[in-house]
Amino acid sequence: MAAKDEPVVIKKYANRRLYNTGTSTYVTLEDLAEMVKKGEEFTVQDAKTGDDITHPVLTQIIFELENKDGQNMLPIPFLRQLIAFYGDQMQMIVPSFLEQSMIAFSKEQERFRDQMKSALGKTPMDMMKLPTPMKALEEQTRRNIEMFQNAMRMFTPFPGAGSAPSNNAPEPAKSEPSEKGDDLQELKEQIAAMQRKLDKMS
């Protein structure tokens, strides 16, 4: 049994069966999905090696949910952009950006639910003053883009690289021909390209 406030340990066996050590019962991926929705913390371990395999199991849950009719939440453009980030220079900040975005979105979701609950006793005119879900989402998206832009500037080793490019063609980098200079120029071009994408999104 897991100690209080500690994540429940789920053991995965070679036959792919999942065993909840907290309840001493076998569970399914759907059961784990319900635990996530209820806010129950758990880790998944390989029953043979003891390795932590929580990440691939959670990824498998998302895969299963995405394949159910009418439950697709990840649009194709997002999936393409996410795949493109693998191996990219900016890959290191994407996980943090996505995590902070989901935390902020969850807070907005709770705030909107609270507003709807408090609005039950309000007049139609009062209801019109409340922000719509789309407006709240647009505002959150704008803040997320700003946060990503700020994160990009933190990884920019030179001033002005994160700003939008001008209409004129950029001047060649004035640096001595060296491997380090080439890498710096390549990183600068990648960040500039990323900034152009963010400008279009905003």
CB atoms within 10 A of CB 31: 14
Token pair listed for 173:
């980098």
Domain count, the chain: 2
CA dist list (Å): 168 to 90, 164, 165, 190, 202: 26, 12, 8, 18, 22
* CA distance from start to end of the chain: 49
Strands 25-27 and 18-20: antiparallel
Of 169, 167, 166, 163, the C-alpha closest to 188 is 163
Residues 148, 95 within the same domain:
yes
Backbone phi, psi, residue 53, to 5°: -120, 30
pLDDT per residue as tens digits for the range 50-107:
999 999 999 999 999 999 877 788 899 989 999 999 998 888 888 888 888 888 888 8
Q: Is 14 inside a domain boundary?
A: yes
pLDDT per residue as tens digits for the range 92-122:
888 888 888 888 888 877 777 776 677 665 5
Of 192, 191, 185, 200, the C-alpha closest to 93 is 191
Q: Is the overall model pTM greater than 0.75, yes or no?
A: no
Residues 90, 141 within the same domain:
yes
Whole-angstrom distance, CA of residue 42 vs CA of residue 62: 16
Whole-angstrom distance, CA of residue 32 vs CA of residue 58: 9
Q: Which residues pair with 25 in a beta bridge?
A: 20
Given 44, 66, 88, the domain boundary residue is: 66
Whole-angstrom distance, CA of residue 29 vs CA of residue 147: 34
Residues 62, 80 within the same domain:
no
Look at residue 44 and tell me whether its pLDDT is greater than 60: yes
Residues 192, 114 within the same domain:
yes
Residue 112 carries which side chain, given as an amino acid letter? F
Residues 35, 118 within the same domain:
no
Residues 48, 115 within the same domain:
no
CB atoms within 10 A of CB 180: 9
Q: Is 101 inside a domain boundary?
A: yes
Q: Looking at residue 79, what is its pLDDT? A: 92
Q: Looking at residue 161, what is its pLDDT? A: 43
Residues 104, 134 within the same domain:
yes
CB 26 within 8 A of CB 17: yes
Strands 8-12 and 42-46: parallel
- CA neighbours closer than 13 Å in the CB half-sphere of residue 176: 2
Residues 91, 131 within the same domain:
yes
Tell me which residue range forms the domain holding 130: 76-164+176-201
CB atoms within 10 A of CB 165: 13
pLDDT per residue as tens digits for the range 164-185:
444 554 555 554 555 556 666 7
Distance from CA of residue 28 to its chain's centroid? 25
Q: Looking at residue 178, what is its pLDDT? A: 55
Residues 88, 59 within the same domain:
no
